[in-house]
Amino acid sequence: MPSLEDIKLRGRRVLAERASFDATITDDDHPEGVAIRVRWHNRIDRNGDLDGNYAEVIEGIDRLIFSDENVADTSALLVLDDKPPLVIERNAVVKIPALKGASFSLDTREPSDGPLETIWVVARLEG
C-alpha cells in the first residue's frame, strides 16, 4: 500500500501536469527570460469589520506554484546550457500569456507543505 506522501506526490504531479501554464520568468541574470511551467492560484481574503459596523475590504491574493521537478527553489540551482543558473528568488517576474499576458513579481516564498512544490505569494504587475 502506498504511503500518504507517495499519494500526495503522485497527485501533485498530475495536478502540475494538467493545471500549469506555459510562462516566462525573468530576473537580473536572465533578462531575456526562461521558459517554465507554473500554476496560478488566486483566493479572496475578506478584511475589516465582518459584522457590518465599518468598511470591509475584499482582497485577491495571487500565488504561483512551481514544480520542484521543473524549477529549482532558492536553495538549489538549475543549470540551463551555458547560461547562468536559474535561482527562483524575490522580485523575479513571471509572465503567463494564457492569462491575458498577466505578469507577477515574486514576493514571499511560503514554507513547504510537502513534496514537489515551491509556492510564492506574488504581486500582480500592471500593464
Tens of pLDDT along 43-75? 888 777 667 676 777 788 999 998 876 555 444
Q: Which helix (H) or strand (E) holds 64?
A: strand 56-67
Q: How far apart are CA 116 and CA 118, in angstroms?
A: 7
Cβ 103 vs Cβ 125: under 8 Å: yes
pTM for this entry: 0.76
Residue 109 confidence (pLDDT) above 60: yes
pLDDT at 75: 42
Structural domain including 57 reads 4-125
pLDDT band at 91 (very low <50, low <70, confident <90, very high): very high
Average pLDDT on 94-104 reads 95
- Could you give the number of structural domains in the chain? 1
H helices present in the chain, as ranges: 4-19
